[in-house]
Amino acid sequence: MERWLAGEDLPLAQVADSVRAWVPFAADSPLYTLFATRIAEDQELLRVLARIPSSPPINILFAAVQRLLTRDDALAAWYPRLAGAARPADAAAYEAFRGFVLEREADVLAFGSRRTQTNEVRRCAVLMPVIAAALAERGWDGPVHAIDMGASAGLGLLMDGVAYQYGGTVLGDAPLTLECENRGGLPLPAAPPVFATRTGLDLAPVDATDPEQAAWLEALVWPEQTDRLERLRAAIALRRTAGISMVAGDAAATLPAVADVLPPGPIVVWHSIALYQLPDEALAAVDDAVVAVAARRPLVRVAFEPQPGGGADLRVGLRPREVAPVAIAHTHGAWIDRPYP
């Protein structure tokens, strides 16, 4: 019995360590900071967490709770999306949270194999001016074929169907306006680019037109990020009628075949916060695929990816790692700036 307890204790201690290591990433969410800090000391909740196979389990747990939570649950009082004026994160919030998880454990664990795959449409606000400038530089002023590598639910391909606001400058007119601070005064186009076709490549495309998959995307948004939730909902509504094709598979393998069957015309291929976790060989395979397509037809590539030293930047080039950034930006698209000298 003692040995069994010791064996049980060891993995839970490791789960607790991984939760503690996750806490700094929740700095934007007082509720998740509180919950994660307390979960790390709570054997019963650690036991639930240990049974979640997807990674990181803490994100899956939080999303599962949001997916299941309704206005009628006591815990809803702390969730701004459900309670008009949410209560501040306090000890009672954690008690309500752990009570909910333990009572609904089987329902929570039913989400255990889901992915933490998100899609932030506001990234369009930092990609769009860079893409517009790259197209203008090449004299491509007509419609172009758009390909997003690592497109998730394809919401980035709404780039030509949303409006933008950079301070006092508004571009386009659409049901969804993306606000972005143009800190560096980067040149803005008169209008967003126009796409002839829109194709998203992803290892595991999310079908945002499927109510359950859309609800899971919403559940992954943190409770306090009500503006992000509103944007997501508006983007999903636009996505239902937008002409977007999604292709499943590794972008290095699918890009050439997809590009080869597009009607004539230039291609803009981009990726946002998608390929940075790939090992070098896989990144090189994507680069080689882009270069091969560019040898057959006009193509420009824009990369918006986090950099090892911190922050994220935008680069224009067939092999982005070999060129200097043209801009830096907030990873969720809140601002764009000129690169630091």
Nearer to ligand SAM, 107 or 250 (CB): 250
Residue 223, token pair as written in the block: 């409770």
How far apart are CB 156 and ligand SAM at their closest, in Å?
Answer: 5
Nearer to ligand SAM, 67 or 332 (CB): 332
Nearer to ligand SAM, 117 or 245 (CB): 117
Nearer to ligand SAM, 46 or 159 (CB): 159
How far apart are CB 276 and ligand SAM at their closest, in Å?
Answer: 9
Residue number with the shortest CB distance to ligand SAM?
150
CB 335 within 8 A of CB 180: yes
Q: Among the residues of 75-151, which ranges form H helices?
A: 91-103, 105-109, 124-137
How far apart are CB 341 and ligand SAM at their closest, in Å?
Answer: 27
Nearer to ligand SAM, 110 or 248 (CB): 248
Nearer to ligand SAM, 75 or 217 (CB): 217
User: DSSP for 199-240?
Assistant: EEEESS---TTSHHHHHHHHHTS-TT-HHHHHHHHHHHHHHT
How far apart are CB 231 and ligand SAM at their closest, in Å?
Answer: 11
User: What separation in angstroms does the CA of 225 have from each of 26, 99, 186, 218?
Assistant: 12, 24, 27, 11
Residues engaged in binding ligand SAM (CB under 6 A): 117-120, 123, 149-152, 156, 201-204, 250-251, 272-275, 278
CB 41 within 8 A of CB 16: yes
How far apart are CB 306 and ligand SAM at their closest, in Å?
Answer: 10
Q: Quick one: CA torsion of 228, 232, 234, 236, rounded to 10 degrees?
A: 180
**Cα–Cα distance measured from residue 319 to residue 316, given in angstroms and rounded to the nearest whole number:** 8
Nearer to ligand SAM, 105 or 179 (CB): 179
**Cα–Cα distance measured from residue 28 to residue 31, given in angstroms and rounded to the nearest whole number:** 9
**Cα–Cα distance measured from residue 158 to residue 178, given in angstroms and rounded to the nearest whole number:** 11
Tally the C-alpha atoms within 13 A of residue 296's C-alpha that lie toward its C-beta. 16
How far apart are CB 182 and ligand SAM at their closest, in Å?
Answer: 19
How far apart are CB 59 and ligand SAM at their closest, in Å?
Answer: 12
